């Protein structure tokens, strides 16, 4: 039986913990209902927390912050922190509901090509996977699929098909991957009209055996055409990420993409400003060669978060072209930390969205009287 002193220590610690605000989430542990257990075990205070985001890269940081807060409030005992994640489905656009087995679909989009959207998408997915989440990536750029190359999939690799005709995604760098690039000859263009493209996207999503996923990242083609409209009408998206560079011409197109999602009822989680600064490979000097703060300005005027400002670094291009993106090839570098922070901010923005409640209500059938 715990001693009275231990009980008092636990009560004091719990009160301190409840008021602690998780920096990336902007909410207290009490608001998040994250405290699962607080007890004294031997010479340590054992604390168990459950957060709504991937926690693999948070343990060391939170341990230090919590230990400091406890000590500052007079709870002077070594901390043993146990973290777990409970990533739940968030609300999607009406009248759709989340797909079975896939908690959250996140679309990564841009208004124009050439802003590094696919690089952002693959590193976002890899960062979440590295933090312990179950992640898939759907390459929805039918005309220019790039994810098989970025993830180092060997040329000629084809996904298997199960007896029930479901396609088994290719596993690459820890991600479940599906792409039209895995189904057609890499050197042959997809010369398809709009209806064929939208049908292909729908089939790639619905006929793939994704299994259980916390996040499915969809790498969207640039623009606001048929594919984006199909996405809004048929695919339950928990949130969209808009990628732009700082220059005004890119921001202007990104603004159109953001407004398209807003009109179709898809929540925009925030803006990623890619190529925000150029890092010289020789001396490390940073320069804003594409202008400054365009993505930040877009996020501010739209009332959404600036999820990250990423560098224009030749190494990111080299790593991605080699089939080992930065989050795999150089996880301890400054450029990877910028990507990791972007992924953490995106997960936090999604976790702040209302939960999905569609499962609480059955289907309503209205029958007329004869």
Question: Which CATH number do you get for residue 66?
Answer: 3.30.300.130
Please compute the mean of the pLDDT values over residues 114-128 and round it to a whole number: 95
Number of domains in the chain: 2
Distance CA(196)–CA(168), nearest Å, equals 22
Residue-level pLDDT at 366: 40
Asked if 42 and 167 sit in the same domain, the reply is no
Report the pLDDT value the prediction gives residue 225, as an integer from 0 to 100.
76
Q: How confident is the model at residue 364 (pLDDT cuts 50, 70, 90)?
A: very low
User: Two tokens at 125?
Assistant: 């997915």
Using pLDDT thresholds of 50, 70 and 90, give the confidence band for residue 257.
Answer: confident
**Pair of tokens at residue 241:** 């990420």
Token couple for 303 = 């009332």
- When mean pLDDT is compared across 98-112, 125-139, 292-306, the lowest value belongs to 292-306
3-state secondary structure of 238: coil
- Which pLDDT belongs to residue 208? 95
d(CA 56, CA 132): 5
Residue whose C-alpha is closest to residue 109's, from 216, 220, 218, 202? 220
**pLDDT 10s digits, 204-228:** 899 999 999 999 999 998 877 777 8
Residue 91 falls within a domain, yes or no? no
Can you read off the two tokens belonging to residue 127? 């960062």
- DSSP letter assigned to residue 82: E
Lowest mean pLDDT among 27-31, 48-52, 297-301: 297-301
Residues 149 and 179 in one domain: yes
Co-location of 48 and 171 in the same domain = no
224 by Cβ neighbours in 10 Å (0-12 / 13-18 / 19+) ranks as: middle
* 200 belongs to a structural domain: yes
Residue 11 lies in a domain: yes
What are 142's two structure tokens? 């039918």
- For the stretch 282-322, pLDDT in tens is 777 777 766 677 888 899 999 999 999 999 888 998 999 99
Q: Report long-range pairs for 1-8 (Cβ below 8 Å, ≥24 apart).
A: 2/39, 2/40, 6/39, 6/40
- The reply to whether 123 and 230 lie within a common domain is yes
> Can you tell me which residue has the tokens 């702040």?
352
Mean pLDDT of 322-351: 95
pLDDT at 128: 98
Residue with the two structure tokens 């996904």: 159
CATH code of the domain containing 340: 3.40.50.300
Please indicate, yes or no, whether residues 225 and 333 belong to a single structural domain of this protein: yes
Evaluate whether 346 touches 269 at the Cβ level (below 8 Å): yes
158 and 280 in a single domain? The answer is: yes
Closest-CA residue to 237 (of 208, 222, 217):
217
pTM of the model: 0.91
Higher pLDDT, 247 or 20: 20
154 shares its domain with 212 = yes
For residue 358, tell me if it sits in a domain.
no
The answer for residues whose C-beta is within 8 angstroms of residue 320's C-beta and 6 or more apart is 119, 122, 150, 326
DSSP code of residue 52:
S
pLDDT at 368: 45
Per the model's pLDDT, the better-predicted residue between 188 and 325 turns out to be 325
C-alpha 277/C-alpha 249 separation (Å) is: 17
The Cα–Cα gap between 109 and 106 comes to: 10
Tell me, yes or no, whether 198 and 275 share the same domain. yes
Question: In the sheet where 35-41 sits, what is the strand order?
Answer: 35-41, 44-51, 79-85
Query: pLDDT grade, residue 360 (50/70/90)?
Result: low
8 A C-beta contact, residue 300 and residue 271: no
pLDDT at 193: 67
Q: Is residue 8 in a domain?
A: yes
- Tell whether 223 and 265 lie within a shared domain: yes
In sequence order, which residues have a C-beta less than 8 Å from that of residue 295 and are 6 or more positions away?
244, 245, 246, 251, 254, 271, 272, 273, 274, 276, 306, 309
Indicate whether 367 belongs to any domain: no
- pLDDT the model gives residue 237: 95
Domain that holds residue 45: 4-85
- The per-residue pLDDT for 198 is 79
CA dist 68 and 64 (Å) reads: 6
Query: 293's torsion region: left (phi>0), alpha (psi -120 to 50) or beta?
Result: left
Do 148 and 244 belong to one domain?
A: yes
pLDDT at 1: 42
Verify that 136 and 183 share a domain, yes or no: yes
The span from the CA of 134 to the CA of 99, in Å, is 15
Q: What is the pLDDT of residue 142?
A: 80
Query: Exposed/middle/buried for 280, CB within 10 Å: 0-12, 13-18, 19+?
Result: exposed
Name the packing angle between helices 117-130 and 314-321 (round to 10°): 80
């Amino acid at each position: 039986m715990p001693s009275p002193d231990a009980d008092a220590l636990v009560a004091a610690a719990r009160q301190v913990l409840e008021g602690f605000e998780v920096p990336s989430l902007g909410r207290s542990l009490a608001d998040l209902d994250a405290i699962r257990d607080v007890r004294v075990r031997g010479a340590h205070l054992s604390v168990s927390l459950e957060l709504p985001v991937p926690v693999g890269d948070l343990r060391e940081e939170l341990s230090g912050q919590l230990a400091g807060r406890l000590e500052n409030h007079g709870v002077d005992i070594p901390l043993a922190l146990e973290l777990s994640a409970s990533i739940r489905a968030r609300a999607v656009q009406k009248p759709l509901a989340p797909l079975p087995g896939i908690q959250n679909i996140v679309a990564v989009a841009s208004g124009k090509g050439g802003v590094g959207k696919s690089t952002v998408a693959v590193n976002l997915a890899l960062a979440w996977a590295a933090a312990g989440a179950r992640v898939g990536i759907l390459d929805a750029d039918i005309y220019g699929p790039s994810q098989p190359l970025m993830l180092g999939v060997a040329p000629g690799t084809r996904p298997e098909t199960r007896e029930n005709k479901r396609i088994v995604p290719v596993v690459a760098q820890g991600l479940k991957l599906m792409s039209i690039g895995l189904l057609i000859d890499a050197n042959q263009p997809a010369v398809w009209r709009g209806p064929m493209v939208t049908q292909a996207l729908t089939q790639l999503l619905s006929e793939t055996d994704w299994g259980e996923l916390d996040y499915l990242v969809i790498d969207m083609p640039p623009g606001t055409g048929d594919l984006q409209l199909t996405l809004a009408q048929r695919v339950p998206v928990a949130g969209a990420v808009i990628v732009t560079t700082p220059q005004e011409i890119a921001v202007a197109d990104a603004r159109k993409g953001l407004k398209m999602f807003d009109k179709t009822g898809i929540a925009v989680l925030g803006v990623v400003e890619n190529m925000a600064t150029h890092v010289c490979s020789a001396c490390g000097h940073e320069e804003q060669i594409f202008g400054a703060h365009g993505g930040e300005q877009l996020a501010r005027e739209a009332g959404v978060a600036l999820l990250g400002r990423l560098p224009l670094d030749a190494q990111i291009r080299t790593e991605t072209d080699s089939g080992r993106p930065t989050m795999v090839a150089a996880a301890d570098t400054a450029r990877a930390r910028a990507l990791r922070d972007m992924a953490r901010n995106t997960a936090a923005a999604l976790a702040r969205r209302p939960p999905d409640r569609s499962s609480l209500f059955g289907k309503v059938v209205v029958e007329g009287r004869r």
